[in-house]
Chain A
Amino acid sequence: MLKLLVFLPVFGAALLAVIPGQHRQLLWRLALAWALAALLVTGALLVVFDPAGAPVQLFESRAWNARLGSYFALGIDGISLSMVGLTALLTLVAVLVSRHIDSPRLYYVLLLLLQSAMFGVFTARDWSLFYVFWEATLIPLFFMIDRLGGENRQRAALNFFLYTLGGSVFMLVALLFLYDAAPGHSFAMHDMAEGGRGLPPAMQLLIFAGLFIGFAVKMPVVPLHGWLPLAHVEAPSPVSILLSGVLLKMGAYGLIRAAETLPAAFVAVQDGLAALALASLLYGALLAWRQQDLKAMVAYSSISHMGIVLLGIAALDPAGFNGAVLQMVAHGLSAALLFLVVGLLYRRTHSRDLADYDGLRGRAPRFAFFVAFGLFAAIGLPGSAGFVAELHVLVGAFRHWGLWVIGLGLAMLVGAAYGLRVVGHLLRPAVRSTGPDDMSGSETVAAGLLAAGIVVVGIWPAPLLTLVGGSTARIAALFAGS
């Protein structure tokens, strides 16, 4: 079933690549069908998965390179399943809003390949396989930004590629180190986890440093975030959706997986991680506040919100881990919504400047509604998913660092400042009577899906918490003594 999930989009991509004709509508429908199919498979996974059951379910493993000890192993737990769900949903949304994109064939093929790689990252149960899928996401993304992006696209694409590749080199070296140091000589995650836990702390720290650089570039953590503002601003908006919605989560997801493997290292650098998280939080929030370009603002706010995830992970307790995973989902939804509306607005007006959106409410009410909704969700208004997540992180972090978590509060305050500034401009009386066309049907559906997700998770978080709770509790149990 997981193999089906991972390779289904590849078949779709192959089909789209060879289908004759340049019929834009047909290609769109096909891609949509494929995205829906992936969502269906994810739904089936949700039904099959038992949160109270075994740690890793639907596990399947096949020797890949037996001599090296690498396996083609797939499996899911609560955390990866929630990420798979997010990926499927956001891919659907990305397809929904890219009805009028340029060079559709190339775009859809790359999009489906990217989806396959993302599914692979979240379901891999073998570090070598994880690494392969991790790198595999880079290629479609590079071409998508490079071929379809804004005016600075080539610089952004190269920047993005170099940054992440540089990060993953460190990750690869660390993985090889771990492979070498662990007694089992196997890349399978559980073998490596057992081996890693037995290592002396100094060794664990060394390996952790490599892994952390790889993941921190992706997340991103200040000061390794250099690629993000450029890439987000230049990428076409559906790609921004996936980039901020899913790709950033890969870093956090990897970090959680690493926590299973190198617990001693995490305990040793716990305070440092929290400091980095608070730095990210404030840095992103302050810079977002300073932007008048909406897309750049959302990009910097992403840095800030991923700081919350890192803070949750650094707390190393159930509330913190739960909050981190919830925040991954919440930020995936809210950032995707914001990039979606801002991207669509950009396509209509060719401007991302806030000044051009004065009085949008009168001219394009649906746009105004969804921008405001996304901003409120990003602030973490009670009733939105972000609130539940932030509360968990706050509870988890407060236990460890007490009043230091006031940094989180400050960042949220600044977040409210720039969010409300945008909302205020949207609600102004319109200067011009004409404006961009309002959202079309499919775009409204896409934005509505995300908004509904935010509200459902915000008001009724229990199912999601149960889904991830078992897995996070298991990880947190590793740190119970510290």
Chain B
Amino acid sequence: MIAGLRAVADWVWLVPLLPLLAAALTGIRVLLGRTAGDAGEPPTARLAEAAALGALLLLLAIDLSVIWHGWPGSRVVATWFAAAHWQGRVSFLLDALSLPVATLAALTGWLVVRFSAPYLHREPGFHRYFIVLGLFLAGIQALLLAGNGLLLFLGWEMCGVASFLLIGYAWQRPQATGNALFAFVTNRAGDAGLLFALGLAAFWVGSFEWQDLFAARLPLVDLRVLALGFVVAALVKSAQLPFTPWIARALEGPTPSSAIFYGALLVHAGVFLVLRLDPWLQQLPDVRGGLLLIGALSALYAWLCGLVQSDVKSALIYATVFQVGLMFVAIGLGWTTLATAHLCLHAAWRTWQFLLAPSWLTLTRERPPAPPRWLAANRWLYGAALQRFWFDQLGLALLAEPTRAIARDVRALEANFIDRAIGEPGRGRPVDPGRSLVCADGLPGRLLAAAAGLLQRFENRLLLRGRGGIGERLLREAGHWLRVLEELLEQPRYLMMAVMVTFVVIL
């Protein structure tokens, strides 16, 4: 039994794969039309539940094995792809950071799946929800257990896409889709940081494995740039300043999804990433200082905004951001163990709160407390908090509007010049009045038409014509002259002359 546990860590790849398989199976069932009506719901829910439970049990078994066999450390499962000297591997790093968080994530995931089945009963997007949830669970586990930056990025993106899809769960409402887009686009900024850092890692270190990255002796400047890429990604994902606004808009999805995404797991992914980078951060006190500052500011901001919120979910999300800000402060101070513990406790607690949110009114039966008097007295601060310090509007004015203007200009350029130069199908003019279907548009098309027209004229000359061609005219003329010659030869005097000429030539 105990010896058998030693090998269990080799099966860790099943943890992300199980929810993914469940999602795929549900997707296939939807495609085959097997999910109609009430009878279609239990299999979907049970499948997702089984996958979540399987992942949880597997992780618990690995945790058990740790007691006897110690931390499994890095496990390389397969080579994903290889090009030249570097490779992307499917590898997992099971240590004191990833295993507890992953186990907690699996537990939360399982509970939320169980909670969701009755909560979403007879919702139109029931199966869609479970497919996306499976995608998310797979993504978050890949992110947490990843032994290299590439697999982490894969999980990171899967989570981002799942988050986008669930915020836009009620896609019939324009507000939901707008918010989904907002959250997604903000997250792309973080992805850019991550990709940037990964690219630099491939370039400077030649590997994506965490151990190789941490063992590499890089100049401090390079290390700082590398770490900053990751840190930006972490700040975006954990909704720290100045990226906080997206998370307030992300609560459009169904409540259980909000619980798992923004209460429990996804919002902590950034904290987790920074904790993972701890070996680097210890060499970079200035980056740690920056984290401390941003965490403190975010906490302050979230605290002020949270005080004036009037709905449950918004209040909860600002409380979440506040706590996450505190985690960054702890990391900035170097108290990583505290931050890890804080992360786990906060995730557990907040999940419960979010799941409870719909019942909050019945539970409390009271009006929420009014904002404290000192805040109400300070009009300016109160207004700023109510407006969430105008971050939304700032982002819109500074980023979205200029982007939109550029897009408009580029579109105009496209419509006025490039489209016309390239040509559009169905808009061309016939190259020949007799051939209405042979049309050409745009520069290449006109060039083609001109060349083809030229060749066609040449071709028409080249083809032997039955009547009236050059060949026939020449033949007729030759025939005419031959006939004249023959007529001349028929006259005796010319015949004699020809015979004489022949003799002269012979002699």
Chain A residues packing against B (C-beta within 8 Å): 152, 155, 159, 162-163, 223, 226, 229-230, 283, 286-287, 289-292, 354-355, 414, 417, 421, 424-425
Contacts and interface: CB of A to CB of B under 8 A. Distances in A.
Given A283-B455, A414-B448, A421-B437, A290 B466 contact: no
B452 A287 contact: yes
A291 B438 contact: yes
A289 B437 contact: no
Contacts, number: 50
Contacts of B51: none
Contact of B438 (A155, A223, A290): A290
Interface stretch (B4-12, B367-375, B457-465): B457-465
Contacts of B175: none
Nearest to A283: B455
18 contacts: A152-B466, A226-B462, A229-B459, A229-B463, A286-B451, A287-B459, A290-B438, A290-B449, A290-B453, A290-B455, A290-B456, A292-B434, A292-B435, A354-B437, A355-B436, A355-B437, A414-B448, A425-B437
Contacts of A155: 466
Nearest to A224: B462
A479 to B, nearest CB: 33
Most chain-B Cβ atoms within 10 A of its Cβ — which of A286, A355, A421, A425? A286
Contacts of B435: 290-292
Contacts of A425: 437
Contacts of A229: 459, 463
B432 interface: yes
B431 interface: yes
B448 A286 contact: yes
A246 B392 CA distance: 73
Main secondary structure of the interface of A (DSSP, over half): helix
Interface in B337-382: none
A-B pairs, 9 with minimum CB distance: A290-B452, A292-B435, A155-B466, A286-B452, A354-B437, A286-B455, A226-B463, A159-B464, A226-B462
A303 to B, nearest CB: 10
A424 B439 CA distance: 13
B450 to A, nearest CB: 10
Given A355-B437, A421-B437, A425-B437, A223 B456 contact: no
A287 B466 contact: no
A226 B460 CA distance: 9
Contacts of A414: 448
B456 A287 contact: yes
A230 B462 CA distance: 12
Nearest to B425: A424
Interface of B: 425, 431-432, 434-438, 448-449, 451-453, 455-456, 459, 462-464, 466
Nearest to B456: A290
A422 to B, nearest CB: 9
B220 to A, nearest CB: 47
A159 B465 CA distance: 9
A163 B452 CA distance: 24
A289 B438 contact: yes
B452 to A, nearest CB: 4
A223 B466 CA distance: 19
A290 B464 contact: no
Contact of B448 (A283, A292, A417, A424): A417
Most chain-B Cβ atoms within 10 A of its Cβ — which of A289, A291, A414? A289
Nearest to A358: B437
Contacts of A421: 437-438
A421 B432 CA distance: 16
A421 B426 CA distance: 10
A287 B455 contact: yes
Given A155-B466, A230-B463, A290 B431 contact: yes
Contacts of A424: 425
A159 B434 CA distance: 26
Contacts of B451: 286
A144 B197 CA distance: 73
A292 B466 contact: no
A292 B425 CA distance: 17
B462 A223 contact: yes
A240 to B, nearest CB: 18
A292 B438 contact: yes
B451 to A, nearest CB: 5
Contacts of A223: 462
Contacts of B466: 152, 155
Contacts of A292: 434-438
A163 B462 CA distance: 12
Most chain-A Cβ atoms within 10 A of its Cβ — which of B431, B432, B435, B456? B435
Contacts of B464: 159, 162-163, 226
A426 to B, nearest CB: 12
A421 B436 CA distance: 13
Given A286-B448, A425-B437, 6 more contacts: A152-B466, A163-B464, A287-B455, A290-B431, A290-B449, A291-B438
A304 to B, nearest CB: 12
A355 B453 CA distance: 20
Contacts of B434: 292
Contacts of A286: 448, 451-452, 455
B472 to A, nearest CB: 12
Most chain-B Cβ atoms within 10 A of its Cβ — which of A152, A286, A290, A414? A290
B328 to A, nearest CB: 52
Nearest to B426: A424
Nearest to B430: A292
B432 A290 contact: yes
A348 to B, nearest CB: 20
A3 B227 CA distance: 81
Nearest to B465: A155
A278 to B, nearest CB: 14
B271 to A, nearest CB: 48
A455 to B, nearest CB: 28
A230 B451 CA distance: 22
Nearest to A228: B463
A425 B426 CA distance: 11
A412 B178 CA distance: 45
A291 B453 CA distance: 11
Contacts of A230: 463
Contacts of B459: 229, 287
A230 B463 CA distance: 8
A291 B432 CA distance: 10
Nearest to A225: B462
A123 B455 CA distance: 38
B106 to A, nearest CB: 44
Nearest to B436: A355
Contacts of A283: 455
